[in-house]
Structure 1
Amino acid sequence: MAETPKGQQTRAKLLEAAQAEFSEYGLAGARVDRIAERSGVNKQRIYAYFGNKEALFAAVMTRVYAHMSAVVPIPTTEEGLRAYVGDVFDYHRESDLVRLLAWEGLHYGAGPIPDEKEREAYYVHKTAALSVALGIDDPTAAARVLIALVGLASWPFIVPQQRRLMLGPDGDTESGWALLRASIVAHGHSIIDNVLQGSV
């Protein structure tokens, strides 16, 4: 049976509240009681909609991945690829995706995650598009490039304490952020250039 508009609204409220809770406390530290309080929805509705806390976390990750895909789609041209590094940096500055990914990594380690096949399919699509942008016919090589570019653009947000210690108070000014972004984009372009020149 199709979900009613009211049910869709309730689900959206729960996912929004759960995203905030998981971002702050991680999967292990998050509490269903707090999610219910944040959302204004009865705690039993959480279990009715999602079953358990891990399934709720998986639903949150699906939600944030869908949002990033819509806001920062993987490019299929060299020009788009060059803009992509800065776009990913900008996205992570405004988003809590990297915090959620860090918590997910701490919780599951190298083991399987819920909805793993769906996440794998997401990256297969991304590396296929990246292969087109790079003009190479090697999805594994494209995946290595993607790891390098995304890692470069997201690292300052995964370990904000390191960014603060390295850059000092000026790093948190708008001019400091602009300089960091420019540096990361330039290094991203170097990675792209190496691939286009056949060096990677």
Structure 2
Amino acid sequence: MKFKTDIEIVTGFIGSGKTYFINSLVKNTLLKVEKILIIQCEEGNSKIKEDLVNFKNITILNYDPQKPLDKDTLKEIILMYQVHRILIEYNGTRNLADLLEILNERELKKISNVTSIFFIADCTTYKMFLNNMPTLILPNLYHCNLVVFNNSSKIPKDEFKSIEKHILSLNRDTFILSSTSKDSLEKDLNEEDFLDGGMLKLSRILTKTLLSKF
């Protein structure tokens, strides 16, 4: 393998809107020259859109949520598929820090690179999860590049401001996006322009494609 595979992690509890986000992420960042593997580590209420499933450069891998993604499994997947980008829809009941520790091992860093971590949450249940399962929620907040809150219109504005302030106190480099519902997520992402789908990404993909031919 002559190039490193980019890895993007989408985490959050079931029902938070992870698959909705992945549909929007892929639709808005996929380049025609790019090959993507989506690893789904849980079966939620939503599905990957049919037009993405049928796109020849996208492969969906349904991974048993009862099995951990260990180093050997990840290495085998990366080398087997040899795609430009892997999206991992990570099970929210597993600790993100464990996955990042594995991906940061030397053997995997030689063939892959974690480029983005997205934490998806529902405003109506966020505080409950944070109060009852802080050991699962906090690693997401410490490491994520973007926090997406769905159903932001269902809680008072001052409560959401308090949530934002707390998150930024833990991770000052993250971005926070509020969306009134899962259905409006794609529009909100487009307006804020958080996703990497531009010329710099195209340059990286073309360079990797060229390297794979030598």
Relative to the length of structure 2, the TM-score reads 0.26
Give 1 or 2: higher helix fraction. 1
Relative contact order (alpha carbons < 8 A, sep ≥ 6): 1 or 2 greater?
2
State which structure, 1 or 2, has the greater radius of gyration over its C-alpha atoms: 1
Relative to the length of structure 1, the TM-score reads 0.27
